[in-house]
Amino acid sequence: MTDIFSFLTEHGIPFEQFDHPAVFTCEEAERLCPPMPGTATKNLLLRDRKGTHNFLVTVGYDTAVDLKGLKDLLQIDKLSFASPERLKSLLGVEPGAVTLLGIVNDTEGSVEVILDEAIWNAEALQCHPLVNTATLVIPHEGIVRFLEATRHPPRILRIPSRKDPNPNPIP
């Protein structure tokens, strides 16, 4: 498993660290984390019906992802949440610590990164550093550099939410 702090430093990716009690949900993070700059995120590791395609989907922390709408947008048969075992094997994280930074451990390129357009356009993102007892704030340019360094070009989409039933892919 990669030391995320060493990886970020080696690749010149700036970050600001905020330590806090362990948080397992976005609601807990709102209550227990200190005020931080950047956009708070929610990360979902999803898989298709056969388990041959894995997707790390990053959205705003308050987005309720419409899995049926996302399935249709991705043109796949079915989407479901990855098991804790799959989380550990692909991203090296436990439930409650799913993070965009987990793709640093996907050296086989088994996970496709999908970012909501609002997240992609944010000035900075809040990301767990592979554990849920801290949050790193990374500027947009740092996220771009991180995705390039891990060889995970993101697909930028307007992720469907249960509040917005008519998403459109970004051209």
Per-residue pLDDT tens over the stretch 84-111: 999 999 999 988 889 999 999 999 999 9
Q: How confident is the model at residue 1 (pLDDT cuts 50, 70, 90)?
A: low
What span, in angstroms and rounded, lies between the C-alpha atoms of 132 and 88? 14
Phi, psi dihedrals of residue 57, rounded to the nearest 5°: -105, 125
- What is the structure's pLDDT at 165? 47
What's the CATH number for 4-157? Answer: 3.90.960.10
Encode pLDDT of 53-80 as tens digits.
999 999 999 899 999 999 999 999 899 9
Give yes or no for residue 167 having a pLDDT over 70. no
- What is the structure's pLDDT at 171? 44
What span, in angstroms and rounded, lies between the C-alpha atoms of 104 and 73? 26
| pTM, two decimal places | 0.89
Q: Any idea where the domains of the chain sit in the sequence? A: 4-157
Mean pLDDT of the chain: 90
